[in-house]
Amino acid sequence: MKPAPPAPTLEQLRRHSPWCWVVCERCLHRRPVAFVPLIIRFGPDASSNLIRRSARCTKCGGKGATLQHPGWLAWISDGSRSRENKLQRRPLSSQLALL
């Protein structure tokens, strides 16, 4: 069996987008998270698995999350433009609050 490819580093993810959705594995609550504060804290070569393992949900308190690139919303919500717009408008203002 082939070993799974290594998880991308925080810096590799940041090159594609300055932020991503962190989605709770238990209740699917999600929150936009900017990479720069994480890179300052853990370093650019830190594995993105760090976030997957240690993220704690602010809604249900569950530990463990998946990362979702913001661009992926485009094909997840195809045909529902109003929903897509709503989802894409929110993170920008939330992200500013984080910075």
Summarize as ranges the residues that interact with Zn ion (CB under 5 A).
Answer: 24, 26-27, 29, 57, 59-60, 62
Backbone angles phi, psi at 25, to 5 degrees: -75, -20
Nearer to Zn ion, 8 or 62 (CB): 62
Q: How far is the CB of 1 from Zn ion (least distance, A)?
A: 32
* Ramachandran sector of residue 19 (left: φ over 0; alpha: ψ -120 to 50; beta: rest): beta
Of 15 and 26, the one with the shorter C-beta distance to Zn ion is 26
- Rounded to a whole number of angstroms, the minimum distance from the CB of residue 65 to Zn ion is 8
Handedness of CA 67, 73, 77, 80 (dihedral sign): positive
Helix, strand, coil percentages, rounded to 5, for the chain: 45, 20, 35
* Nearest distance, CB of residue 57 and Zn ion, angstroms: 3
Instruction: Give the nearer residue to Zn ion in terms of CB position, either 34 or 57.
Output: 57
